[in-house]
């Protein structure tokens, strides 16, 4: 059930992101990242939450922080590899 809820929130977050509602997108995506850390959707949600925070603020610190969280929580995830350029 948790995986289903995590996937649902991930989808909603991506939908808000597509509609450029970055605040709501980040909120939905963070709810997966923080609320369902063991779900398969969590690394992707953390990644997109960081991107949404950046897009909403134009502050690159969100990208670096996201890369650090992903490296710590999900060192073997493809989303961590994608975010690795932000920690440079």
For residue 73, give the CATH number of its domain: 1.25.40.10
The Cα 66–Cα 87 span in angstroms is 9
Task: Give the tokens for residue 75.
Answer: 């060192």
Domain count, the chain: 1
| Structural domain boundaries, residue 19 | 2-87
At residue 88, the pLDDT reads 64
Give the pLDDT confidence of 28-65 residue by residue, as tens digits: 999 999 999 999 999 999 999 999 999 999 999 999 99
């Amino acid at each position: 059930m948790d995986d289903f809820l995590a996937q649902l929130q991930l989808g909603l977050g991506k939908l808000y992101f597509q509609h450029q509602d970055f605040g709501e997108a980040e909120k939905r995506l963070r709810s997966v990242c923080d609320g369902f850390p063991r779900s398969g959707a969590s690394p992707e949600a953390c990644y997109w939450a960081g991107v949404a925070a950046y897009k909403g603020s134009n502050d690159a610190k969100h990208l670096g922080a996201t890369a650090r969280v992903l490296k710590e929580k999900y060192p073997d995830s493809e989303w961590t590899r994608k975010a690795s350029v932000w920690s440079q």
